[in-house]
Amino acid sequence: MIVLCVVSILLLTFYIREGDRGPIHSIRSGVVTVTSPLRFVGSAVATPFNAVGNIFSNLTASQETLSDLQAKNAELTAQVAELSEAQETATRLEALVGLQSTYNLQSTAARIIGASGDAWSQTVTIDKGSADGFTVGMPVCNAYGVIGQITECALNVSTVLLINDESSGVSAMVQSSRAQGMLRGQADGSLRLEYVPADAEVKVGDIVITSGIGGVFPKGLPLGTVTSVEKSDNDVYYTINVRMQASAENNEEVLVITSLNPDQVATDEEIVAANDAEAAPAQDTTQDDDSADSADDGSGDSESGQDDTSEDEYSESDDYEE
């Protein structure tokens, strides 16, 4: 037991310390590739149940009294559900094509074939991988907006970390007032827009979009809608809850954005404006302590408590952190 425990701890240590292209990540990628046919089968098996699950439960209640007619009814209902599903698929595909053309996205379509295998992370698996040109870091969206970013890429499947996972964060802004912040996932699967200065104008119902800062997500893609805005008297930043615009349902089509056009990245002026907005309240708080967000990780560090926050620093801060 001791030997295997030591091996486990060593595996864990190497996994944490190695990069995305380390041997353990490569082995996992290989295992995911090998087991991907099973995932496809599981997705195919589960799909009809997604569509007729409620119908089935209703039918079982009246099964004692109905016989042939009920079976016929069930068959027809299943067909209707199947056709409705096909119609919805067509509608979603049309919307995806619309999104692709509206935002001029260079993207490849894929399909969600499963959710996370463990309860602790918000991820989905899509049916295309490195063989289709996908790489780690590519943003993923559906017809309603951004859903996440590829974090693991096997040969024929990829894992997408959803934006509502608590380890994710996207540079975002409020569409109406252009107030910039960082959209982070919470433990309960909700979204929160952080680091929006308290002097900015934000109200319930405002749409939150990607800001394009960081050069990962195209600028202007919808992320969600503001559901509540809170601020105490001495707060430097708002506490803004956001409802996710897009949902990641099984068997739905998504677009993986393979590259960005120059006009989809934040302009220099926008980066400077974002830095200015972030620097002002951060300077105030630095006088008292190490700033409100200095205890936080990722982007907060690059934005707060820095008098000389440069444009490059902000640009290099990644949209997504793990």
| Binding interface with another protein (CB under 8 A) | 1, 4-5, 7-16, 24, 27-28, 31-32, 35, 38-39, 41-43, 45-46, 114-121, 123, 125, 151-152, 159, 161, 166-167, 186-189, 250
Of the two residues 73 and 116, which places its CB atom closer to another protein in the complex?
116
Amino acid at the residue 163? I
Distance CA 222, CA 159 (A): 21
DSSP H stretches of helix in the chain? 2-17, 23-61, 68-102, 268-288, 299-303, 311-316
Phi first, then psi, for residue 301 (nearest 5°) are -65, -40
Distance CA 121, CA 169 (A): 14
Query: Closest distance between another protein and the C-beta of residue 114, in Å?
Result: 3
Of the two residues 46 and 155, which places its CB atom closer to another protein in the complex?
46
Of the two residues 270 and 293, which places its CB atom closer to another protein in the complex?
293
Of the two residues 194 and 206, which places its CB atom closer to another protein in the complex?
194
Nearest to 151 by CA among 137, 132, 172, 167: 137
Helix (H) or strand (E) holding 245: none
Distance CA 159, CA 145 (A): 18
Of the two residues 13 and 261, which places its CB atom closer to another protein in the complex?
13
Query: Closest distance between another protein and the C-beta of residue 108, in Å?
Result: 22
Give Cβ neighbours of residue 195 (< 8 Å, ≥ 6 apart).
180, 181, 182, 237, 278, 293, 299, 300, 303, 304
Of the two residues 248 and 279, which places its CB atom closer to another protein in the complex?
248
Of the two residues 4 and 69, which places its CB atom closer to another protein in the complex?
4
Residues 171, 210 contacting (CB under 8 angstroms) = yes
Task: Quote the distance between the C-alpha of residue 56 and its chain's center.
Answer: 32
Of the two residues 37 and 133, which places its CB atom closer to another protein in the complex?
37
Give Cβ neighbours of residue 128 (< 8 Å, ≥ 6 apart).
108, 110, 134, 156, 157, 158, 256
Query: Closest distance between another protein and the C-beta of residue 95, in Å?
Result: 24
Angle at 132 between CA 150 and CA 220, to 5 degrees: 45
Count each helix (H run) and each strand (E run) in the chain, helices first: 6, 12
